[in-house]
Amino acid sequence: METELKDSGVIVVGGASGIGRACVEGFLNEGANVVVWDVAPNVAETAADLHAERCLGLTVDVRNFDAVAAAAAESESAFGPIQHLVHAAAIGSGQFGAPFTRLQPSDWANVLDVNINGMVNVAHAIAPGMVDRRQGTMVFVASVAGQIGSPTDPPYSASKAANINFAQVMAKDLAGDGVRVNTVCPGMVKTPLNRNVWQSWNDRQSEADKRTYDEWAAEKIAQLVPLGRWQQPEDVANMVVFLSSNLAAQVTGQTINVDGGYVMHS
């Protein structure tokens, strides 16, 4: 079956590394034209390396709505109407938050600004064009932490819960205009953000309790993931591409876990 993504215009926010980059590669493999938004200073070079003709990189700070709106206009100038949005930009607090009182209220502000307000800014910039054309998809990359209240990084967990909720709000609001909105929740994925979680945990352990990243991860996988293995960025990207395609034409307002069975709802 064909995804019908060839020649479509796609924006991947946070697409310079990790899950976002895997999503960019997935859309390029389907023949789409992809604009990568990221705060990384090398985003233009990253995009050119991936595909010089069909991939453009723009430096965008999602906390700034004017910058987001300008990037949306530049993206459409390059590749025409944006038919698909993937939002994979997020940060953690960089603190180990169990219990939450280890953190200060000041540790929350930037996480919420990037992870929640950034999502809001991007949605407000992209949704009107999709509504006008009565066609489009949005996929937001959240986390299983947004469903289970993971204590490791409370600001991050709370922001991911907000991502899931706002995506559901948008799905209801935009369904009548032919726009589908879904959320994908990764579980244990080897990304820079995941490694930062380990580092913040490890820094607070006694010498006897410290673990290498691989040891820590193996213990968590054994404890938490029924399938017993890491999820890869490509596993998440495959679901994102599917949800963006015509193969998921009747799927909207859903929160789909790519987590090896970590979270199972009865």
Buried b or exposed e, range 125-155, using 16+ CB within 10 angstroms:
bbbebbbeeeebbbbbbbbbbbbeebebbbb
Contact 40, 19 (CB under 8 A): no
From the candidates 156, 216, 230, 262, which is the catalytic residue?
A: 156
Annotation says 156 is catalytic: yes
| Whether the Cβ atoms of residue 174 and residue 127 lie closer than 8 Å to each other | yes
The region, left, alpha or beta by phi > 0 then psi within -120 to 50, assigned to residue 213 is alpha
Q: 63, 114 in Cβ contact below 8 A?
A: yes
Other beta carbons less than 10 A from residue 203's beta carbon: 10
d(CA 87, CA 64): 15
Secondary-structure percent of the chain, ordered helix, strand, coil, rounded to 5: 50, 15, 35
The set of catalytic residues is 156
